[in-house]
């Protein structure tokens, strides 16, 4: 009887095929009956000891396999976390560089046109491009610094939603007409969702300046106790498939990453980006 219980336990805990485990149980029954008929207690002790040894070996093997599976799962999780972090940092660098290059080109273009007749205006435009480049370099250093394993990267403070009006002003200085309307407290978004809102507005304004230079852009932010809705619209009629690239995809991923949502596409007046973010 003892051997039957041992064989059944091995069948339940091993990864052997059903036929083999069933055969093991049948063999245990036959051996048990034979031991009872021969009345040799030595055989019973030997078989029980052997069975327990097999059980211990089987358990050790399964434990080793479980440990290896856990280590592999931990390794895959770490790799996935590193990949997600690299993608996030790549998105930060993309947004910052896209913004600074677009606005700086607008300033440089204005300086070139004003160089002969309005040298003071040309110097102002070039100075603004230089200032913007320096500020953006600090942001890039901050983002790249996050990749340092020793944690000693430069960590200049990243912007949040409260900096959206200042962001719009930087585009105005480059010649883009931007109107900003804010309802509620932008600071309620906090640092994480606030950075997402800022980057979405930054990318949307950058796209507007690239695809519809000179056209007015309207930025509206409405903050309630539950969520914040940020809408950017302009008069540019562009095929949605033509601009559904890294920028729009990155904006959507940012919004969804904090539990929000984002839509971007043609509207009645032109093009619209709308993000709804949690507060």
What is the pLDDT at residue 187? 94
Q: How far is CA 117 from the centre of its chain?
A: 49
What is the pLDDT at residue 118? 78
* Residue 148 backbone zone (phi > 0: left; psi -120 to 50: alpha; other: beta): beta
- Give the contacts of 210 (CB within 8 A, at least 6 positions apart): 102
Q: Which tokens belong to 8?
A: 């059944």
What is the pLDDT at residue 200? 94
Buried b (16+ CB within 10 A) or exposed e, 111-149: beebeeeeeeebebbbebbeebeeebeebbebbeeeeee
Number of H helices and E strands in the chain, helices first, is 8, 5
CB atoms within 10 A of CB 251: 26
The list of the chain residues with pLDDT below 50 reads 2-5, 8, 11-12, 15-20, 149, 242
List pLDDT tens digits, range 67-115: 777 777 777 776 776 666 676 677 767 677 766 777 777 767 777 777 7
Structural domains for the chain = 2-73 (no CATH), 160-279 (3.30.565.10)
How far from 3 is each of 18, 32, 49, 59, 126, CA to CA, in Å? 18, 7, 10, 17, 90
Q: Give 134-166 as a DSSP string.
A: HHHHHHHHHHHHTT-TTS-S--PPPP-GGGHHH
Percent of the chain topping pLDDT 90:
23
- Give the CA-trace dihedral at 18, 22, 27, 33, to 10 degrees: 170
pTM of the model: 0.59
Contact (Cβ atoms closer than 8 angstroms) between residue 177 and residue 216 = yes
Contact (Cβ atoms closer than 8 angstroms) between residue 201 and residue 250 = no
Contact (Cβ atoms closer than 8 angstroms) between residue 225 and residue 187 = no
What is the pLDDT at residue 132? 73
Q: How far apart are CA 168 and CA 188, in angstroms?
A: 20
List pLDDT tens digits, range 212-240: 888 899 999 999 999 999 999 987 665 55
**Residue whose token pair is 């009645």:** 268
Nearest Cα neighbor of 55 from 1, 4, 2, 7 is 7
CB atoms within 10 A of CB 234: 27
């Amino acid at each position: 009887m003892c051997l039957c219980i041992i064989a059944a336990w091995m069948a339940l805990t091993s990864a052997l095929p059903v036929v083999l485990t069933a055969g093991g149980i049948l063999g245990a029954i036959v051996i048990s009956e034979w031991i009872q008929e021969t009345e040799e207690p030595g055989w019973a002790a030997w078989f029980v000891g052997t069975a327990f040894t097999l059980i211990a070996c089987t358990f050790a093997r399964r434990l080793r396999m479980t440990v290896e599976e856990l280590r592999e799962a931990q390794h895959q999780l770490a790799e996935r976390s590193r990949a997600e972090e690299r993608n996030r940092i790549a998105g930060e660098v993309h947004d910052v560089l896209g913004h600074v290059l677009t606005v700086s080109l607008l300033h440089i273009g204005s300086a070139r046109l004003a160089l002969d007749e309005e040298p003071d205006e040309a110097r102002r435009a070039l100075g603004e491009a230089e200032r913007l480049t320096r500020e953006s370099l600090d942001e890039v250093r901050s983002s790249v610094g996050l990749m340092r394993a020793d944690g000693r990267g430069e960590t200049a403070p990243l912007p949040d939603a409260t900096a959206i009006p200042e962001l719009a002003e930087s585009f105005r200085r480059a010649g883009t007409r931007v109107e900003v309307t804010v309802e509620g407290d932008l600071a309620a978004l906090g640092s994480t969702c606030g950075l997402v809102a800022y980057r979405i507005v930054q990318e949307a304004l950058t796209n507007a300046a690239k695809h519809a230079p000179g056209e007015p852009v309207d930025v509206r932010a409405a903050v309630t106790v539950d969520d914040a809705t940020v809408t950017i619209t302009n008069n540019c009629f562009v095929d949605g498939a033509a601009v559904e690239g890294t920028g729009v995809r990155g904006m959507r991923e940012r919004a969804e990453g904090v539990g929000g949502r984002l839509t971007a596409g043609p509207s009645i007046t032109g093009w619209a980006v709308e993000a709804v973010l949690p507060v």
